[in-house]
Structure 1
Amino acid sequence: MDKKDIIQKIIKHKKQPNLRYRLKEKTEEFTNTLFYTLFDIDTAVEKNLEKLETDFDTLTDLACWDMDRPCKKVWENYVGKLPGILEKLNMDAEATVNCDPASLSIEEVYMAYPGFYAIAIYRLAHELYTIGFPLVPRLMTEYAHRQTGVDINPGAQIGDYFHIDHGTGVVIGETAIIKNHVKIYQGVTLGGHFVAKSLKKTKRHPTIENNVTIYANATILGGTTIIGENSVIGGNAWLTASVPANSTVFHTPEIKIKTLPNVT
């Protein structure tokens, strides 16, 4: 097979007319600029908002495949929500500095905590998701996932003062609902009980009520599963049914003591 044949065959199998990886790269640049605009004290807000609007125009050109949808108006709606998003994120940072005895300062939370970074990008992406802008919110949260190990679908609904400790391995599904003052630790999964494309428009992921703590590697599945307020879910617990308010759920390990001689 000569070079010409190879080129023709590759072109033949490139079947997705809207698959432009430049969109992914531009989304990551846009995400970084957003983060600096909201948090970095040396970043000029007015100048960066102008840059963000220009960058957003590029994203709409790349991602708005349905020409009948007014994607150009999305920015006007979105930028007005940024002060409210920042207010919520400041609450999240306060929750982290108040919950974690290892935190030395709130500045450390903003700069060094992967859980906070993942929450920040989720909140910035979620507003775009609710507006209905295609694909970009998913690319934003996947960018955060790649950097932190925390996978939050932009469709999830998360309340105030949310804290993720350590973060790595956390998965929060698209239809999950998390209310206020919730703390979760590394490896926690809020997932679907069943995986089927026909369930796309149904609630597939659990609801976590106020003041719940979920410890490391707990798995909570199902759209009808509700964890009642003020509950504590212990590490490695596996739940597919609701838990009433003020509950404590533990995973009980099985312990076997070796008694036979010469067994190591």
Structure 2
Amino acid sequence: MPNLTGKTALVTGASRGMGRAIAQRLAADGARVAVHYATSVDAAKETVSAIERSGGSAFPIQAEFGVPGDVDALVTGLGGQPLDILVNNAACGNLDTLFAGSIDRLTPRQFDEVFAINVKTPFFLVQAVLPLLRDGGRVINISSPSTRIAMSTQIAYAMSKGAVEVMTRTLANTLGARGITVNAVVPGATDTNVNDALHAPETRAAITSITALGRIGRPADIADAVAFLASDDARWITANVLDATGGMFLGPLG
């Protein structure tokens, strides 16, 4: 297991789902974790409590993304303490936008919301924490398979994640002189308590049928990939987009 003892990590959108799993895994590896949440204070407290019950260290930070002052609020919550790991996990949760955002239906409001939360906030968050981020640190962005799979109902979401991958490569080049690595992780369909659509048997069967490893992803699958990139084992890996989809939609199976 990687050793992150003495390091501090910030995980955005860490109150539930994949973000919670990532926060718990980094804490289990020894990091002190800042658990960011937007509005779900009880869920954030549950994440912190779960980490502490397991012997880890964590604290909550509240900031609603996509509104003025979001980055300032989050950085203020850090209290100026040095940072070693930043995981940009929070993303737009507007399901109307994610799954009904085709070119003929997407509204300017929905488009702006997706880009504000998925692109603008992570970019300016990196900018804001650079003075706090130690040399040799890690920035890990969460992307999406929608950047390589043309899904017409997710056009704005896919475009925003494409921007995240461009940001990943560019920042890797920019921050490499400080020994800071920047990578992205691409989760596939992942079974979380916020992904109710995956609970339908027909949906699970359909996704499993186009996934090489033959199952729906679990939050721990993604958390483990992030933990690897956060560790010293990944010190020579930067500007990469790590596919953690289980081989989703690679082509006909068999």
Q: TM > 0.5 between the two?
A: no
Higher gyration radius (CA): 1
Could you say which structure has the higher strand fraction? 2
Larger relative contact order (CA 8 Å, sep ≥ 6): 2
TM-score relative to the length of structure 2: 0.26
